[in-house]
Amino acid sequence: MTLISYRQALHDTLRSEMHRDDRVFLIGEEIGLFEGSYKITAGLLAEFGPRRVRDTPIAEEGFTGAAIGAAMLGLRPVVEIMTINFSLLALDQIVNHAAKIYGMFGGQARVPMVIRTPGGGGQQLGATHSQNIELYYAFVPGMKVVAPSTPADAKALMLAAVRDDDPVLVLENLALYNTKGEVPDEDLPADIGTAAVTREGADITVVAYSRMAAVALRAAEELAATDGIDVEVVDLRSLRPLDRETVIASVRKTNCAVVLEDDWLTYGIGAEVAASISDGAFDWLDAPVRRVAMAEVPLPYSKPLETAALPSTDDAITAIRQTLDAVARRR
């Protein structure tokens, strides 16, 4: 095990996969000479050259389409889109081509490509650069969408994504890049579609992903220390496929749940999780499923307003206490 940052885990994994398989190449804006807006690709142009690390014009639809064609012909492109907000410019290529080709052509062609892109607020980048719109892609059959919350998962899920024969979107929350954690030295790909119980507990289940999975753990530790509340935390890790079984099994054990998400409440990932809990654990629930999400507004640039709009550890703790209070009243 090695203690490294989330950023370093992504960099090292891409580098090792490029050494392992010469079909893997990187393509995107400013990933070569500038070494990436968030320095994930630092040093890779110098090591692998412009054939394997390809700088592109500011043309998301164009270079994403080029990567799809390359993948269909046997290469394994890793596309960096500078921010998930800019992926909207490539929406047709991702949704109508990458996600559909395998099915439309009866399995005669595959698209083994990765789209890795950061998202999330808290960095004062304004409303058009701070969105969590992974729901757009998790909604689409034919896509796989993963959301690592730790450096270890950043490595394991990126390994799985690069080696997968289907298009995979890897969501990287900006707030996680500098976080550190223990990462296995071995190259062990994750099982895409499998959630992780990151903290065992008996009193309540908290389901989250990406940055909010870290928030869930902080809330759980604080409640254990101050209130003696034993919170179980389920990190989804994968948004499509969604591991409903792990979530349902946890709620059947604890009998109540809170879902945390970093995007808007209406039509969010949390709505799908809550519906899955209702379908699979309704008779076990002692209180309604509560959801914590960001305010239903374009994210403000002002730091105090941005902080107020984003879900916090305190918001998670309040929702957990309210849910357990509802359980106590029923009993």
Separation between Cα atoms, residue 131 and residue 119, nearest integer Å: 6
For residue 241, say if its preceding peptide bond is cis, omega within 30 degrees of 0: yes
For residue 56, the surrounding DSSP H or E stretch is: none
* Buried-state track 266-304, b at ≥16 Cβ within 10 A, e below 16: eebbbbbbbebbeebbeeebbbebbbbbbeeeebbeeee
Strand partners, 208: 235
For residue 233, the surrounding DSSP H or E stretch is: strand 231-235
Distances (CA, A) of 26 to 36, 81, 202: 11, 11, 44
Q: Which of 60, 172, 232, 306 is catalytic?
A: 60
Coil, strand or helix at 114: strand
Q: Give yes or no: 97 in active site.
A: no
In contact, 32 and 41? CB cutoff 8 Å: yes
Tokens 């896509």, residue located: 143
Q: What is the 3-state secondary structure (H, E, C) of 175-207?
A: HHCCCEEEECCCCCCCCCCCCEEEECCCCEEEE
Separation between Cα atoms, residue 22 and residue 122, nearest integer Å: 37
* Tokens (6 digits) for 300: 């403000």
* Tokens (6 digits) for 208: 């989250």
Q: Count Cα neighbours of 199 within 13 Å in the Cβ-side half-sphere.
A: 25
Q: Which of 11, 29, 35, 129 is catalytic?
A: 129
Tokens 């890779």, residue located: 44
* Tokens (6 digits) for 90: 């490539």
The count of residues in the chain is 331
Q: Give yes or no: 129 in active site.
A: yes
Q: Which residues are catalytic?
A: 60, 129
